[in-house]
Chains A and B, each alone.
Chain A
């Protein structure tokens, strides 16, 4: 008899401990607003407004996630500009808000206001001066005849400042994309070895196929831009770089949220000081 109490104790523990860790703490409600927006020095703003997808749902799709019926305003040093929405197939999603009446200028403060039926999102960004790209040099990939990365040399970096490279491979791309692990601080830049630029990953490339390469092809024309960033945008892109690189990796799991700078929405609003340079890679 004295041995029979043990199974009862065990059964009580088992039945008492069944719980789902998530249900009570995180009830599902409306999907968060997502804003990807920037204004670049000398260029009009580009803002894309979408909704996130709940990954706990059974059917997952980005169809119908674009928010077309919202009011997007930018305040340039206090002056309001209401942006108009239009289709631009160079971007994904292809519906953007923009305006030709406003162009980015260094030193200006740009406030973003996005108003939907049920959400108001706000953010502020200041455009900082960008360093200058003094030269671009091709660097051939070892054991390859036709693949290159690009080494950029920069001057005019300010201490304790933040930067990011974007690239456009003209034979394949219609606009600029973040380069692979291209977010850095001025302290991390080595003026002797420069900064190595390769292509980042994105769904519009062959990333998930054996044909994907981070490298540029011989004879390609590549334009490189360097943007100056405020620290919140640096934090966003730094986490972004790590998430897209490690998220599928069994041994180096990374599950940190991208720290956006928008109140009321996910994503970012950035004002980029910019400079650019182009190179044609050797045949």
Chain B
């Protein structure tokens, strides 16, 4: 039995003389004496849980949790932590991808303070758009998403800035070797408000110019993010928030052969939203925009592929007794994609699509005898795009049963749909990928998901165990089966090369966490398969692009002293599927390859060890400084990004592999106040 010393200091703010004057037992106060208790603060020396697994499947992470875990360059990026959880595939180096239970990146829903973030990943996948200083909490659902949420067929991730300290200014500044971020919140007491601002910038090539050199290719890359928020609390239960997020990525793609032309890529996120909360009633309005820039040229062959997706959305949630009603609507504009180098008017207006989506949902939630919880929801979606109209009902049933206080069993079924589609023309999520609206030729993606599992808490050792089995039936999953070079032709529309497949994803996940004590950490393992069948690729199932049958993540943190902690994170995951070359032959004095069937081979397993140490300088006030050092890929494992074959007179036929440069050390300084 772990003994915990719990010290509770209760302090009263705005003390009252009445209490001081009367006898100390408040329970004997006369009924006509009113005590006004304005505020209570409770402090404890027990570590606040910063990683919570709820019985409904929602995982909550605090920014303190991400700061305690090793992340790339000590950036404390929260999505890097999410990627170590079960159900989320390990991301290869340079891949701005997010695969949940075998899904594609475009199947997920990303939100920040109620606003949709269309693409929350910065290029190359090292960082997300969620400034860890600005966003204090992340919630994540890999499954069992209830009907009140906007549509998604995979995971749901929301970052919440949680401006709630109305007493004094507070914030954080973190300076690192390739990335820095900051956030400051300032109370405006006369109007009971908090104004917040956050900023983040990367400068990858300044200190590590060789990180992004691969064979003949050199990349120069950077990004910046800006967050602004204003929250006004009229009463403790009534608040109005305005939020703003803007981010920009830019990359130059240069062949080290000085005679070859460059490419220039980039994208921008812009989200603006307002949220009114009155108790549990919530009204949200938001604009979300995502803009791609993609330019590539070689030997006077030029590709210029701008694209964008804009969305205006409105949602309303209101609980009524055991029911909750929800309604939301979204209008989307997708520019489509066309090589504007070859068009006469430099625009893609003839590829644009507009769509409208309306959803209504009803959720019933009831717990019986404190043991059996049932959440039954129905969501009906109406979608319109040009002449295409469709109504999609979605039924979801989530149940959990408390076998004991520490053991609960859950089972769930849900039907999911999404109406906007991401066309991925590149691996790694480069800006040649673009969003479009579903229509008759590219219908909405749907999934039917079944989940069963068990949650166990072992109080003696403060360990939480979660095991979940899942099976999803997927329809209309899309994959791009063409080539980026086809866009050299002005008439080419990449949508003509999107093939649709049906398939399934299934597996079992295991999560063990310990969030208290000197030794903390988690072990996460997923065994999962994801298969799709495309008519264009034959009769057999092929592995989905993000399938990793085995995915293991182990993170340990050792709190050596109050001020010093050490962390290590080890990742082992099956390699991603790829299409291997079987034969090579000469045509036109070039090596041409004949390939095995699509995605029928697998890269070697991905392995990586990251280590970090953080020292927090002792302080007697609320300000603290800390310094952290980290080593990314401490074992210098050469994780293979892809294979290719070359032929030259000097070297003959060579099998080559592309790997990211190995060990990356970093140091960062953080100041919190």
Contacts and interface: CB of A to CB of B under 8 A. Distances in A.
Given A196-B300, A210-B258, A60 B595 contact: no
Given A243-B592, A250-B658, A255 B299 contact: no
B585 A17 contact: no
Contact of A246 (B483, B582, B655): B483
Contact of A32 (B425, B583, B656): B583
Nearest to A243: B592
A177 interface: yes
A168 to B, nearest CB: 13
Contact of B586 (A62, A181, A243, A254): A62
Interface stretch (A20-28, A78-86, A107-115, A273-281): A20-28
B456 A3 contact: yes
A36 B586 CA distance: 9
A25 B596 CA distance: 10
B584 to A, nearest CB: 5
Contacts of B596: 22, 26
Nearest to A92: B589
A251 B298 contact: no
Interface stretch (B11-19, B236-244, B638-646): B638-646
B592 A202 contact: no
A223 interface: no
B592 A212 contact: no
Size class of the contact patch on chain B: 35 or more
Interface string A246-283: 11111111111110000000111000000000000000
A29 B585 CA distance: 16
A23 to B, nearest CB: 11
A134 interface: no
Given A177-B588, A251-B430, A255-B595, A246 B94 contact: no
Nearest to B579: A255
A169 to B, nearest CB: 14
Given A21-B601, A25-B600, A208 B646 contact: yes
Contact of A56 (B549, B582, B649): B582
A105 to B, nearest CB: 24
A212 B257 contact: yes
Contacts of B301: 180-181, 196, 198
Given A149-B299, A247-B644, A248-B215, A242 B259 contact: no
Contacts of A201: 590
Interface size class of A (residues with CB under 8 A): 35 or more
Contacts of A198: 299-301
A52 B215 contact: no
A221 interface: no
A55 B550 contact: no
B427 to A, nearest CB: 6
B164 interface: no
B527 interface: yes
Contacts of A6: 465, 467, 510
A93 B586 contact: yes
B428 interface: yes
B320 interface: no
A200 B300 CA distance: 12
A54 interface: yes
A55 B592 contact: no
B644 A55 contact: no
A68 interface: no
Contacts of A50: 585-586
Given A203-B648, A241-B485, A251-B427, A214 B299 contact: yes
Given A21-B602, A240-B592, A254-B483, A10 B525 contact: yes
B256 interface: yes
A192 B644 CA distance: 39
B484 A60 contact: no
A13 B587 contact: no
B587 A252 contact: no
B264 to A, nearest CB: 14
B653 A61 contact: yes
A109 B417 CA distance: 54
B426 interface: yes
Contact of B585 (A34, A246, A250): A34
Contacts of B214: 250
A153 interface: no
Nearest to B527: A13
A70 B648 CA distance: 27
A244 to B, nearest CB: 5
A14 B583 CA distance: 32
B367 interface: no
Interface string B327-365: 000000000000000000000000000000000000000
Given A36-B588, A92-B589, A241-B485, A250 B583 contact: no
B432 to A, nearest CB: 8
A204 interface: yes
A214 B550 CA distance: 45
B595 A256 contact: yes
Contacts of B641: 250
B81 to A, nearest CB: 23
A132 interface: no
B142 interface: no
B508 A13 contact: yes
B652 A62 contact: yes
B426 to A, nearest CB: 5
B653 A53 contact: yes
B666 to A, nearest CB: 24
A245 interface: yes
Interface in A22-54: 22, 25-26, 31-32, 34, 36, 50-54
B533 to A, nearest CB: 16
A3 B406 CA distance: 13
B594 interface: yes
A29 to B, nearest CB: 12
B588 A52 contact: no
Given A36-B588, A246-B485, 7 more contacts: A55-B581, A55-B593, A92-B586, A184-B489, A214-B298, A255-B581, A267-B587
Interface of A: 3, 6, 9-10, 13-14, 17, 21-22, 25-26, 31-32, 34, 36, 50-56, 60-62, 65, 92-93, 139, 147, 149, 177-178, 180-181, 184, 187-188, 196, 198-204, 207-215, 240-258, 266-268
19 contacts: A3-B465, A6-B467, A32-B585, A36-B586, A53-B584, A54-B583, A60-B654, A181-B301, A188-B491, A210-B257, A242-B486, A243-B593, A246-B484, A246-B485, A254-B483, A255-B598, A256-B595, A267-B585, A267-B587
Interface of B: 94, 214-217, 256-260, 298-301, 425-428, 430, 432, 456, 458, 465, 467, 483-486, 488-491, 508, 510, 525, 527, 549-550, 578-598, 600-602, 641-642, 644-649, 652-656, 658
Q: Which 9 pairs between the two chains have the least Cβ-Cβ distance? A: A214-B299, A255-B579, A202-B589, A60-B653, A198-B299, A52-B583, A52-B585, A34-B585, A213-B259
